[in-house]
Amino acid sequence: MPQVAQIVQQAEALFCELDKLPLARRVEALNQLRRQLHMHSPFAEEPVDCLQWVPAEKVQGNDYNPNTVAPPEMLLLERSIDADGFTQPIVSHEEDDRHIVVDGFHRQRVGKQSKHIRDRLHGYLPIVSIRLARAGKAERIAATIRHNRARGVHAVPPMTDIVVALLRSGWSDKDVERNLGMDADEVVRFKQISGLPELFRDHEYSRSWE
């Protein structure tokens, strides 16, 4: 028997045992099996390779997301998840037995607040975790902004607060440009909007007027 077919056959025998477990134990076993598979996967560097189902109450929205969604779009998102299912997991960072949302803030809201969807998911949400090397708060904020900007959505006032927070944390203008996908003029505009003169202390002004 070919080796792959033999491995699959052995796994199928184990999977039959899964069906006998209560729901919570079955989900726990599936999560552990996915983690084991992930360890042996050629795609182990990719977060999407290891999806986990987490109780919704352990998933917490972050306090810095500048992405705003109007009520009609939120309703459309709920309809989409209701009709098509969860086609994108929630990106998170695990911290003290909680999962802090990096991307998917509104998906997690729908998964928690829509009774029909929550019941269908048995109170769980699909999660992938960002790489441990990106787990610092500044790196998580940058990851959230990159996800938002890649979709072309973010609100200016909250975005200004984030740029200010990152600069105050020790990031340079170049760090902000590189990590948030901005050009130099964008960073300067957000600094100007903030109205905080200390952000321009080390700014190099153009001498083109001389």
Give the pLDDT confidence score for residue 14 in this predicted structure. Answer: 84
Domain ranges, ordered by start, for the chain: 155-203
Q: Output the pTM of the full model.
A: 0.69
Alpha carbon distance 182, 160 (integer Å) = 13
- Condensed to tens digits (0 to 9), the pLDDT of residues 116-144 reads 999 999 999 999 998 776 667 777 777 77
Alpha carbon distance 50, 32 (integer Å) = 10
Give the pLDDT confidence score for residue 46 in this predicted structure. Answer: 93
Alpha carbon distance 4, 18 (integer Å) = 21
